Amino acid sequence: MYYVVTFALIITMALALTRAILGPSVYDRVLAVNMLGTKTVLLLSVIAFLMGRPDFLDLALAYALINFIGVFAVLEFFRNRAAKQPEEKP
Amino acid sequence: MTVIFGFFLLTLLLITAVAIVQSQNLFVSVMLSGMFSLLLAVNFFLLDAADVALTEAAVGAGISTVLLLSALAITAKHEKAPSSSRVGALIIVIIATLVLIYATLGNPQFADPNAPVHQHVAPWYLDKTAEAIDIPNVVTAVLGSFRGYDTLGEVFVVFTAGIGVLFLLGTQPGPFAQSNPFKLTDPKGLRHYLIPRVVGRMLIPFILLFGLYVQFHGEYGPGGGFQAGALIAAAIILFALLEGENSALKVIPRSVLIGLIAGGALLYGVVGLFGIFLGSNFLDYSVLSSNPVKGQQMGLLIIEAGVGITVTGVLLSIFHAFAARGKF
Amino acid sequence: MELLGLYYYWVFAILLMIGLYAVIVKLNLIKKLIGLSLFQAAVFLLYITMGKLEGGTAPIVTDANANGLFSNPLPQVLILTAIVVGISTMALGLGIVIRIKEEYGTIEEDEIQEIDK
Amino acid sequence: MTAFHSHLPVLQVIVPMLTAPLVILLNQKRLPWIVATAASLCAFAIAVTLAMSVMAGQTIQYSLGAWPAPWGIELAVDAFSALMLLVVTGASSVALLAGAQSLDKDIEHHRQPLFYAAWLLALSGLAGILVTADAFNIFVFMEISSLASYVLISGGPDKRALPAVFKYLVMGTIGATFYLIGVGLIYMMTGTLNLADMAFRIEDVADQTPILLAAGFITIGLALKAAIFPLHIWLPNAYTYAPNMVTVFLAACATKVAIYVLLRFDFFVFQPNLVGHDFQFTFFLLPLSLLAILVGSSVAIFEPKLKRLMAWSSVAQIGYITLGASLLSVSGTTASVLHIFNHSLAKGALFLVMACLGMRIAQLRIDNIAGIAQKMPWTMAAFVLAGLSLIGVPGTAGFISKWYLITASFESGAMGIALVVIILISSLMAVVYIWRIVESAYFRQPEEDLVITEAPIPLLLMTWVVVLMNVYFGFAPGVPIELATGAAELLHGQTP
Amino acid sequence: MELFLDIASWILMSLGGVFVFIGGLGALRMPDLYTRMHAAGITDSIAPILIIPGLMLQAGLTLASVKLLAILVFLLLTGPTASNALASAALLAGNRSEQVKSTAVPESEE
């Protein structure tokens, strides 16, 4: 019943991972992280049903929050870094 | 059938790990390590470890990414080119891995019921929890009551890390802070931050509410002090990111944070001492009220609250120490 | 089924060595800390794989599955503690790295040794 | 009173541990130091009462939360842990009593509450390891004591303390995680975490690979924490750049507690069950101990910085302790446990002298303490006596453990003679590096403009208390010997 | 009735799976950041709208459905916000897409 969705989600996570590794610019990587985050939320919800424990959806909800905060931490870091010395090359 | 998904996710895990180590750009490896702990959390969930998955997600993917990023903002963003002597170490590591893999062949069958690990101690916990503490979540029961001394030690590990970072970095801005012209709340940032601030301001109360739900839901489902502390700290860190670190400090000033750190740890210790004053051993909650089962539940609730308070206080003071140091 | 069980232990071994490799070979202090967290993540995987029981669900006893099979709760308790130990060590390590950057101006181990000579 | 008496093992740990949150809330002038010293002295008093009741033959068991042993966590105090508790709480109390001014110099006022809280946590972490009988609990308290020691060491005035403490953090965490893997593998095969229960249940799975792997992981992990020879790289820098009082405290007991855990695991859990393990234990540990002794002493001879010299001599002395343990005889283990006690006395006194010198001289090097004896006579006299105890001159505590070590080596058969020769050579090396300092202090002319007064009174007083204890335990070593032999018999399974 | 529910949720979820896959593939193959964000946008919006109601049909009227609804609302709220913030951050940092290269804005090499 849930196998199709789970497979699709895992393959998309693999694609997002390749985008994260290949991604030329940093923003591609931020995009990949955001994608992987939301896919994990969906995957966790589907697996909760797959394993017959629907009361474990707290995990998926908690993860949706964390992902939102994580993306903002990344963007805040990058805005600060780019604003300071865009040409800074250590 | 979940076996196949486990297989896939583990391979993704390995690829992420190799990518983390290989990437020159520290910023990339920090983001990949966020993804790594996220994949690890899904793997734990597949292995029936719901509490651990929630903790790994809340702490591993949430807090450690934010801390690493705020440290990166102050230090370097790129790693220096590697030195020469890497092939030798690589060979040694590969040999060691093969030896370890050969050694794991002797391990007991994966998940077979008659492995020794399921025989001796685990069944006792499962039925003793129903009888003595009578709460659904056996993991919280073992964490809080049967092995409560471990968790007391755990709270003091977090406490040490908190005072360690405060001792190292103090609370005043470091030498780099002056050199950074952009304070967090500069108006220029507002233009493209309007939508996130509005959405953030709308969501933060719900995140805090969810954090409290996870805190007090620890007995009935996955949750507890550590996860709740991490979630609440993450919510306030989001507030700091959007509204600026000084306004987050106005919400919870540093003196309150020190009070939170000391208060949570002391709360846990005092509940343990009550076990002694009321005539039984240290950390024995059944003497806390006339009916032992009620006493255990009351004890669990209080120590989980103590753990949550300390973890929130510590994580927030670490974030403020890092942010003040370099104007992240 | 048997192969996947071993695969869990092999992933533990490989992750352990990747983490150790990163800690030993990499010169950047933050990369060492990330390697250290990988190294500890492998140990978490070992403990949780031990706790899994064939056909068992998460050890949360609701009335629906009161007499069902449950996976072992003890390794999960130990790993809850170990995760928080890992994050505490990383937070302290990052504090030290920030202080090193302020005192030495760099976080590459060889440059630090250069300055110290 | 007796009801209170039965709670002593857990009070030993939670008294300093629960005082730490209180200390960070006070920031009046001297209050954090007063509260910390009071907690440390109270822990020392509990350790003394525990040692007395152990010597009176009581076996002390305490189950946490009133849950029975293999399921709940159990605390057990025997001869070995009682002696180690005396060493740990004693070293902490001495260092705190002596160190008020020295710490004021190194740590700014507003950071002192945090520093003393970290100190109390290091003390309670070490006491927690010594008191518990649960394998995972040892890991948790090892982490508390390690994190607290990283904080203490990072308080050092010199900027080089930071890379030193970072290396210590990385190696210490790897060591603790190796230990965690070992405990996990043993739990996988035996299903229990309680040490006594584990020793009992390991018999029927003893020959399987995970147990052998676990033995390897635990030994390497604890060797890393105990700075046994090839894995000691973090120790010299960490002790040199730490504040003087922290070095007094950590040098006396931090690595010894890791050796305590190694011996307890090896003699209780592995040796009786794993066939051939005792041979492997000696095969690896004996040569490493000899290497530690020779390399440590020889590097100490050529080291200009005083504190680094003392740190390298600590590496050599740890070699003595592991040498005694690797002889696998009751007398060998007695010598090893005795040397833990005596070395912490001698090394504590020497580092206290370093603290006295550190109060008056910025850079502690051989050439810039030239002729210091005329200006600081009492300090240098204490140094000479403590140096004699380190070398093992008769009439000092060091001699007692060297004597037991030599008799144990003789008993250990043919190669015993070679061991005795190496012990004597290394004692001569110790004479050389102590003499270098004495010669520079007494027989060289100080620069004229140097105006140095004697060290502050409380610091000097405590240094002399420890030096006199060295001499006292040289002449009347009754208590340590009784506890050491009790510990050795326990470790070798002959219940007294 | 039970069978109908199962089939309906299967269809919904499989459709969701297909869209997720399409979005993931798009994110990989698209030439430039902004086009990739379009593709990733699909996985952020249409997939939850299809998959989560599919799960809700399975869960029926229980607490789980309320949680699923909360997840759906949260995803639909935060997904677009994050993409907006990402796009404006990229734009602010001068990350012009290739097609707009004709305007003489120096491409930051990051």
Contact call for residues D135 and D197 (beta carbons, < 8 A): no
Any chains having at least 3 CB pairs less than 8 A from chain D are: B, C
Q: How confident is the model at residue D3, as a pLDDT?
A: 64
Q: How confident is the model at residue D449, as a pLDDT?
A: 64
- pLDDT band, very low/low/confident/very high, at A85 (cuts 50, 70, 90): very low
- Average pLDDT of every residue of chain B: 83
Distance of CA C104 to the CA centre of its chain: 29
Read off the pLDDT of residues B240-284 as tens digits, 9 standing for 90 and up: 888 877 888 888 888 899 999 999 999 999 998 888 888 888 888
As a whole number, mean pLDDT of residues B118-125 equals 78
Contact call for residues A60 and A44 (beta carbons, < 8 A): yes
Residue from C84, C97, C100 whose CB has the most chain B CBs within 10 Å, to mutate: C84
Provide the residue-wise pLDDT of chain E in tens; the chain has 110 residues: 788 888 999 999 999 999 999 999 998 888 888 888 888 888 888 999 999 999 998 888 888 899 999 999 999 988 888 888 888 888 877 766 555 554 545 555 44
More confident residue, D451 or B135: B135
> In the numeric block, which tokens belong to residue E78?
């935060």
Residue of D93, D1, D2 whose CA lies nearest to D47:
D93
> In the numeric block, which tokens belong to residue D398?
């060091």
Q: How confident is the model at residue C1, as a pLDDT?
A: 58
Cα distance between residue C51 and residue C47, in whole Å = 7
- Locate the chain B residue with the closest alpha carbon to E89: B192
- B199 with E81: Cβ contact below 8 A: yes
- pLDDT band, very low/low/confident/very high, at A68 (cuts 50, 70, 90): confident
Show residues of chain D in contact with C46, CB under 8 Å: 181, 184
Show residues of chain D in contact with C96, CB under 8 Å: 150, 154, 162, 165-166, 169
Is pLDDT at B326 greater than 80 in this prediction? no
State whether residue A82 sits within 8 Å of chain B by CB.
no
Show residues of chain A in contact with C58, CB under 8 Å: 53, 56
- pLDDT band, very low/low/confident/very high, at B85 (cuts 50, 70, 90): low
Residues pairing with C70 in the sheet: C57
- pLDDT band, very low/low/confident/very high, at B186 (cuts 50, 70, 90): very low
DSSP per position, D395-434: TSHHHHHHHHHHHHHHHT-TTHHHHHHHHHHHHHHHHHHH
Is pLDDT at C114 greater than 70 in this prediction? yes
Q: How confident is the model at residue B179, as a pLDDT?
A: 45
Read off the pLDDT of residues B87-118 as tens digits, 9 standing for 90 and up: 888 888 888 888 888 877 777 777 777 777 77
Residue from C6, C60, C89 whose CB has the most chain B CBs within 10 Å, to mutate: C60
Using a pLDDT cut of 70, give the percent of chain C over it. 98
Which residue blocks in D242-301 are alpha helix, DSSP H? 244-264, 277-301
Which residues of chain D are modeled with pLDDT < 70? 1-3, 448-450, 494-496
Give the DSSP letter of residue D12. Answer: H
Is pLDDT at A90 greater than 60 in this prediction? no
Q: How confident is the model at residue A83, as a pLDDT?
A: 54
Which residue blocks in D361-376 are alpha helix, DSSP H? 372-375
Question: D101 vs B202, D106, D111, D240, D242, CA distance in Å?
Answer: 53, 9, 15, 19, 16
B160: nearest CB among D14, D25, D118 = D118
Using a pLDDT cut of 90, give the percent of chain B over it. 30
Q: How confident is the model at residue B155, as a pLDDT?
A: 94
Q: How confident is the model at residue D326, as a pLDDT?
A: 85
Between helix B64-74 and helix C29-51 the angle, nearest 10°, is 170
Contact call for residues B46 and C69 (beta carbons, < 8 A): no
pTM here is 0.93
Do chain A and D touch: 3 or more Cβ pairs under 8 angstroms? no
Any chains having at least 3 CB pairs less than 8 A from chain E are: A, B
Q: How confident is the model at residue B173, as a pLDDT?
A: 66
Is pLDDT at B188 greater than 50 in this prediction? no
Is pLDDT at B192 greater than 90 in this prediction? no
Q: How confident is the model at residue D328, as a pLDDT?
A: 81
Q: How confident is the model at residue B1, as a pLDDT?
A: 66
- D71 with B125: Cβ contact below 8 A: yes
- D163 with C36: Cβ contact below 8 A: no
Read off the pLDDT of residues C61-113 as tens digits, 9 standing for 90 and up: 877 777 778 888 889 999 999 999 999 999 999 999 999 988 888 888 888 88
- Locate the chain B residue with the closest alpha carbon to E82: B196
Q: How confident is the model at residue E97, as a pLDDT?
A: 58
Residues pairing with B78 in the sheet: B25
Do chain A and C touch: 3 or more Cβ pairs under 8 angstroms? yes
Output phi, psi for D120, to 5 deg.
Answer: -65, -35
Q: How many residue pairs bridge chain A and chain E with CB atoms within 8 Å of each other?
A: 146
Using a pLDDT cut of 70, give the percent of chain B over it. 90
Domains of chain C: 2-116 (1.10.287.3510)
Using a pLDDT cut of 90, give the percent of chain A over it. 16
- Domain ranges for chain B: 1-80, 135-328
